[in-house]
């Protein structure tokens, strides 16, 4: 069955270190997204991609980067981890089909809980 996976599921790191969170989907979806979830803020968009070699900034992109070299993967890199980046990170994917199609629902990964000390 097609799925979307994230790794690691839990990570503890230190301030200033570079961290990469992996996201891999086997749906063959064009669109991939990274969100973070924090108490009091809900889910917010970090970066997104609508296809290979396409990446775009979301509303909370400072300190994060992504690259899309193939359809299946969208790794999220924290260039220099900060305590403010302690959060739960969700990756999601969706297909680009006609307006209002049920295929446009987003499928979410299980999440990565990141703690920056």
The pairing of strands 87-94 and 107-108 is antiparallel
The pairing of strands 76-78 and 19-25 is antiparallel
Binding mask 56-75 for other proteins (x = CB under 8 A): x-xx----------------
CB distance 78 to 92 below 8 Å: no
Least distance between other proteins and beta carbon 85 (Å):
19
CB distance 76 to 114 below 8 Å: no
Binding mask 37-56 for other proteins (x = CB under 8 A): -----xxxx--x-x-----x
Interacting residues with other proteins (CB under 8 A):
31, 33, 35, 42-45, 48, 50, 56, 58-59, 90, 92, 94-97, 99-102, 104-111
């Amino acid at each position: 069955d097609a799925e979307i996976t994230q790794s690691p599921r839990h990570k503890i790191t230190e301030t200033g270190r570079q961290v990469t969170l992996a996201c891999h989907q086997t749906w063959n979806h064009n669109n991939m997204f990274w969100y973070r979830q924090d108490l009091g803020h809900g889910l917010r968009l970090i970066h997104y991609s609508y296809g290979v070699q396409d990446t775009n900034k979301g509303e909370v992109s400072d300190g994060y980067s992504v690259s899309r070299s193939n359809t299946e993967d969208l790794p999220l890199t924290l260039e220099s981890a900060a305590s403010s980046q302690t959060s739960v990170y969700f990756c999601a994917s969706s297909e680009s089909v006609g307006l209002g199609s049920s295929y446009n629902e987003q499928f979410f990964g299980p999440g990565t809980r990141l703690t920056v000390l």
